[in-house]
Amino acid sequence: MQNSKCKIQHWRRSFVYYVFVILWVARRGAGCQPALQPARRRRYSRAWWLALVLLAVSASAHETIWIEAEHLEGVRGYCWPAGPNPKTDGHWGISGPGWAAEWTQGGESGFMSIACGADDDKAVAGVGVEVPVAGTYQVWVRFRDNREATSRFQVRLTPPGGQPTILTYGERPVIEEDNELKLYWDWAFGWESHEAALTPGQARLELLSAFKEKACRQVDCIVLTTDKTYRPLIKERPAHPAWDVLKAYAKGIDPALKPLARRVGEFALPESWKPRTFRDKGFLYLWNMDQVKWAASDPKRVPHPYHLRDKDVLEAFEKKYAAAAQVPIFSDPRIVPTFHGAGPKILATDAKDAKQKQAAEDFVRWLDANADRPWAMMMNYAPNEPVTPAARENFLKYRERYAGNISGENLGYFDFDAAALKAATAQAKTRRDLAAALTTGALQANAAKYRAVFGQEWPDAYREVIPCLSCGMTAFAPLC
Ligand SMILES: [Ca+2]
């Protein structure tokens, strides 16, 4: 059981065995005649060459055990430190996949991690491991290093009937407290290592929260290695003999070897695989906007679509680039002004609110004056607010320049009819059956959303939805 959950790499003994077998087979094939025939001599020579490569690789190999924390036994429920109530009661919970803090730090190894509540000092999860050789192992852990707080937990390694080795982590920062990402998220993934002298055979590895802390503990992976030169920064793995063999191929491959792939030599991509761009305009930046001052009539305005958030930076920017023809980044015509909403509220030139009406008039004037510029929306979590008659008419007028409405992490921010979906999938036997049922339900729900927004049936309602899936990619990409 534990072997299926741990990536245990035994190389040294296996390689010596393979080398012996290769030489024995080659020698048998070559026969024992003093004068080998040319073909047999070449085969024997190749066997020696391969044996030498494997011996060289074997000589530099180390033993490594890589364990994903989320594979430990005893992990129960869910604990997401960035969530509203990250509590546990004597157990570790699944955390992840984190989509912002974790991804900006290289993501989680194996896509997941585990965490426990700040005041949970009794969480335990573990797994059996087979220690391949006796030696001093560096026990590395990738974990959440909370800013200006300790992040303590322990790793306990126990041989059958033997005394445990207990290693404590997170007593001091492993990432400097003014690290940009640590300042931004209030924590950063870091690696810490301690040594453990281990004997060959079975051992129990356990992860213990062990302490009450101010913030959650979060652990991504645990690595035991005899490689003392290994120093991970993100998710790098210790040196691996298989990579050495592949790197050797980069210097040349025996042309007599036959490729493993049956289809070779044809790598031209079909036409359907070529990325398409909006109106064949090439790359565009869909850039969030929370105002349209740049489209107003003030001659001292910055006359390009821009968006800055910090008040002092915004004021300095608007002062420096007032009426400027060239502005860093924002005078690039590939920038597409993108507004938040389910519908084109930004085009409501008949809005009752005077400010909204003025903004719409300014933006429509900008669209008329910049006939080659596209525009866009972003619908994340936006309510299905009905648009006004003028917004609907303007939308149809400028629809050909509408790059679309981004739906971040979602197929379109609509709710499925749960009962209808349950009935539609009740007889599904395959993924294709499920996809067919989900597609029908998604299109109907999306059409209902657009009916609510535009106040009438909206043919091809899915035409401008831009599903931006990441963690839902595996499940929903085929439906887009
Ligand atoms: Ca992990």
Give residue 393 CA to ligand 1 midpoint distance, Å: 51
**Lowest-confidence range among 42-51, 100-109, 204-213, 353-362?**
42-51
Tell me the CA–centroid distance for residue 111 and ligand 1, in Å. Answer: 6
Instruction: Write down the pLDDT at residue 40.
Output: 53
Laid out side by side, the sheet with 402-408 consists of: 285-288, 335-340, 375-378, 402-408, 465-468
**Per-residue pLDDT at 12:** 46
User: How far does the centroid of ligand 1 lie from the alpha carbon of residue 107, in Å?
Assistant: 9
CB 200 within 8 A of CB 131: yes
How does the average pLDDT of the chain come out, rounded? 88
How many Cα atoms occupy the beta-carbon half-sphere of 72 within 13 Å? Answer: 31
Tell me, in angstroms, the distance from the centre of ligand 1 to residue 214's CA: 23
Q: What is the pLDDT of residue 51?
A: 54
Tell me how far the alpha carbon of residue 155 lies from the centroid of ligand 1, in angstroms.
16
- State the pLDDT at residue 43: 53
Mean pLDDT confidence for 60-87: 93
Q: Of 205, 201, 175, 170, which Cα lies nearest the Cα of 187?
A: 175
**Which residues have CB less than 5 Å away from ligand 1 (the ion)?**
68, 108-110, 113, 220-221
- Report whether pLDDT(17) > 70: no
Ligand 1 mean position, distance from CA 118 (Å): 20
pLDDT higher than 80, residue 54: no
HSE-CB of 386 using CA atoms within 13 angstroms: 7
Q: Which of 19, 132, 7, 126 is nearest to 66 (CA)?
A: 7
Looking at residue 269, its pLDDT comes to 85
Ligand 1 mean position, distance from CA 108 (Å): 5
406 neighbors 380 (Cβ within 8 angstroms):
yes
What's the CA-to-centroid distance between 6 and ligand 1, angstroms? 12
Predicted confidence at residue 121, as pLDDT, reads 98
pLDDT confidence of residue 38 = 53
For ligand 1, the distance from its centroid to the CA atom of residue 67, given in whole angstroms, is 8
Share of the chain above pLDDT 90, in %: 70
Spell out the domain ranges in the chain: 9-61, 65-238, 278-479
> What tokens were used for 398?
């400028």
Task: Give dist(CA 316, CA 312) in Å, integer.
Answer: 6
Pick 38 or 127 by higher pLDDT: 127
The alpha carbon of 70 and the centre of ligand 1 are apart by a number of angstroms equal to 6
Q: What's the CA-to-centroid distance between 10 and ligand 1, angstroms?
A: 21
22 has a pLDDT exceeding 60: no
pLDDT score for 46: 56
What is the 68 CA–ligand 1 centroid distance (Å)?
A: 5
CA of 69 to the centre of ligand 1 (A): 5
CATH topology of domain 65-238: Jelly Rolls (2.60.120)
pLDDT in tens, 287-325: 999 999 999 999 999 999 999 999 999 999 999 999 999
Dist. CA 116 → ligand 1 center (Å): 14
pLDDT recorded at residue 254: 87
The average pLDDT across 33-49 equals: 51
Mean pLDDT of 90-98: 93
Poorest-pLDDT segment among 16-30, 137-151, 402-416: 16-30
Q: How far is the CA of 219 from the centre of ligand 1 (A)?
A: 7
For ligand 1, the distance from its centroid to the CA atom of residue 353, given in whole angstroms, is 50
* Mean pLDDT of the 209-232 span: 97
pLDDT for 60: 53
Distance 240 CA to ligand 1 centre (A): 19
Q: Tell me how far the alpha carbon of residue 411 lies from the centroid of ligand 1, in angstroms.
A: 27
Residue 401 predicted with pLDDT over 90 = yes
User: pLDDT category, 31, cuts 50, 70, 90?
Assistant: very low
Distance (Å) from CA 114 to ligand 1 centroid: 8
Under 8 Å CB-to-CB from 203, ≥6 apart: which residues?
A: 128, 129, 130, 131, 157, 158, 159, 160
Structure tokens belonging to residue 246:
């592949």
What is the CA(206)–ligand 1 centre distance, in A? 15
Specify the pLDDT at position 393. 97
Token code pair at residue 199: 């004997």
Q: What is the pTM of this model?
A: 0.62
- Which residues, other chains included, contact 205 with Cβ-Cβ below 8 Å and sequence gap of 6+? 67, 126, 127, 128, 129, 155, 156, 157, 222, 224
55 pLDDT exceeds 80? no
Ligand 1 centroid vs 105 CA: distance in angstroms?
13
More confident residue, 435 or 370: 370
Burial class, 265, CB count within 10 angstroms (exposed 0-12 / middle 13-18 / buried 19+): exposed
Alpha-carbon torsion (430, 432, 436, 439), positive or negative = positive
